Structure 1
Amino acid sequence: MSKIDHSLFSVQEGAEQAFGPCPKCSSKLGLRRGKSGAFIGCTQYPKCDFSKPLHEYENAEIKVIEGSSCPLCSNELVIKKGRYGLFIGCSDFPTCHYIESNKSAQETNVACPVCSRGRLTKRTNKFGKSFYACDNYPKCKYALNLPPVEHQCPECAWPIMQQKKSGTEIDLVCPQKHCQCKIPKP
């Protein structure tokens, strides 16, 4: 068993805020800091290991969608606001965990040059940036940061190129690291 560095879980000085009693041992709760950031924890740590997040990310119902029904349990669907923004979910949560995705993947007509089975699809990462990845993931992990164009590279003969905008000009750039050929878009 590894040793725990108790200095990571120190109570913040001057934080005598009233968070109420600990539900496990009835001691005071205090604002604490760990390697993942601030949280609320028992002041009797390590005797009591109760902790909870500083900010609760509870889903708040915004509007009931009239005439809709959950495909799993037939209850009404509602628009909710959660940790990652708006989404549509079942009104019988937590009994039913149905969620409709509000992000649709935009498929391009460009075939994946690595596996030749999938298509490159526009996706968004957790920071909101767009990228293009093979829809045959996880079998194929090919991804690009710029929009793909079906145009063979004149230098290395790679079947696709990326469309890169620089100012008012649009160029095609080879995605291969060893090539990086750049030509004006025809």
Structure 2
Amino acid sequence: MKLQPRKEPRQARSKAMVDTILDAIARVLVERGYAKTNTNLVAEAAGISVGSLYQYFPNKDALIFALRERHVTHMLSLFEEVVTKMNGEGSLVGDFEALIDALVQAHLLEPELNRILEEEFPAFNLPVSSNLRLRFFEAIKSVLSKHRSSLTTPDIDVAAFVVQRMLKALINAVVLTGPTGVNAGSVRSEIMPAVVGYLTAERKH
């Protein structure tokens, strides 16, 4: 199935149109879920014709894929902003508290949309673009490199990869799929020991 847009918006007007379409499918998805969402409903919600929508996106899944990319890009921007503001005096725990807070807050901005994009979209196992994933990896690696002397992990690249996957899994579990009574606030403090414990655990050589 084709998931790439028909054409990339280059002019301001085209970019505004694509944003309007993606805003519309976000609303329709939250209201109706994946199964009951279709391009006709999205076009109606965007205030455009289906033909205009098809100029940019070939099908519903391409729309959702683009929405997911935009959503991840936004979360990445918040994450990178936190990393950029870190100074040389911050502790390992303090820096990761800031990172985890940023990710949790980003997920909580649109929790229902997050849930749909992660759980209902049939292609949710498809990776986000390699560039976005690499930027997340590099941001985490920069923080680990800053605290290299405090870590017991022998390979900083492996550690950055593991932490990247841990944060995604733990935060998704808390924000998206936690059972009744389990929420981001109650579990946030438990994520820190899991991450820092991995990074500083005694290792047998």
Q: Which has the higher strand share?
A: 1
The TM-score normalised by the length of structure 1 is 0.26
Q: Bigger radius of gyration, 1 or 2?
A: 1
